[in-house]
Amino acid sequence: MSGSDTGKFQIVSAEYYSQDAKPFLYKRLVKVDTETGEAWVLHSARGERGEVRKWLPMLGQ
């Protein structure tokens, strides 16, 4: 992982493999609140007007 430690939030690039029969490498941006430890993942989906991105809270916090 890599990121910047300036400010309250840190953005890191995370890579992980799916647990499918044929593993697929996923790459995601993760935003971490350096004061509370809360984290969000940037989710991207195709919508009627093109790509829609939004920060979704990570589970297990």
pLDDT tens by residue, 6-15: 569 999 998 8
Residue 16 vs residue 4, higher pLDDT: 16
Q: What is the pLDDT of residue 19?
A: 85
pLDDT at 5 over 70: no
Q: What is the pLDDT of residue 18?
A: 84
Residues facing residue 51 across a β-bridge: 46
Write phi, then psi, for 46 (nearest 5 degrees).
-85, 130
Give the pTM.
Answer: 0.64
Residues in contact with 53: Cβ distance below 8 Å, sequence separation at least 6, in sequence order: 42, 43, 44
Of all residues in the chain, what percent are helix, strand and coil, respectively (each to 5)?
0, 60, 40
Q: What is the pLDDT of residue 20?
A: 85
